[in-house]
Chain A
Amino acid sequence: NAGVTQTPKFQVLKTGQSMTLQCAQDMNHEYMSWYRQDPGMGLRLIHYSVGAGITDQGEVPNGYNVSRSTTEDFPLRLLSAAPSQTSVYFCASSYTIAGASTDTQYFGPGTRLTVL
């Protein structure tokens, strides 16, 4: 198993540009999520999904869109990038019980995004 994969590893955008961060997992996990991590801070939840066709907002959803058309993929879209979105983005996945994430979340290697 490749686990959780993220592309690209690094990205530089100009203010106002749009882009999609890709996340895929091959463990047949129902739950997937996106976090951002800023210097000196912990991870903050952006959006999550408990299954294909189901998404919901986390702590800091503004400026980001997600969709979940398949179990494997959970892309994160930045519609109009802003310097405040400069961060490291992590995707995670896990099994679910009763529609909620279980103990072990598997994280991808991260995407380092800089918005100029």
Chain B
Amino acid sequence: DAKTTQPPSMDCAEGRAANLPCNHSTISGNEYVYWYRQIHSQGPQYIIHGLKNNETNEMASLIITEDRKSSTLILPHATLRDTAVYYCIVRVRPGTASKLTFGTGTRLQVTL
């Protein structure tokens, strides 16, 4: 699976959009981009995934560049409860069972 690069930390004011970037320059044609998050002391939570088209659900939007080498997770109106570590993961779908690989992610701090 392709490796991903994320900034270690970001800040966002409550009510503003949080834009979390992810680089995956070695992504293959059959690999999807997944986002999970982990709120302090809890298990990770699935957010969204996509292949090449932009995706939106009730939690977030995912923007994937045309060359698929990077993507951005957008939380449109961040709240304090969105403070968490966000993981960008690239894998084949459905993935081989051993390949949901979590890196160190981006620690998002939402402030008043």
Contacts and interface: CB of A to CB of B under 8 A. Distances in A.
A and B physically associate: yes
B7 interface: no
A89 to B, nearest CB: 10
Nearest to B32: A103
B93 A48 contact: no
Contacts of B93: 102-103
Contacts of B42: 107, 109-110
B30 interface: no
Interface string B43-59: 11110010000000000
A104 B59 CA distance: 14
Interface residues of B, number: 22
A21 B96 CA distance: 24
A110 B43 contact: yes
Contacts of A103: 32, 34, 46, 49, 93-94
Given A42-B104, A105-B44, 15 more contacts: A35-B102, A42-B102, A50-B97, A96-B94, A97-B94, A100-B96, A100-B97, A101-B94, A101-B95, A103-B49, A103-B93, A106-B46, A107-B42, A107-B44, A108-B43
Interface of A: 4, 31, 33, 35, 40-45, 48, 50, 56-59, 90, 92, 96-110
11 contacts: A31-B97, A42-B101, A42-B102, A45-B98, A56-B97, A90-B43, A97-B94, A100-B94, A102-B93, A107-B42, A108-B43
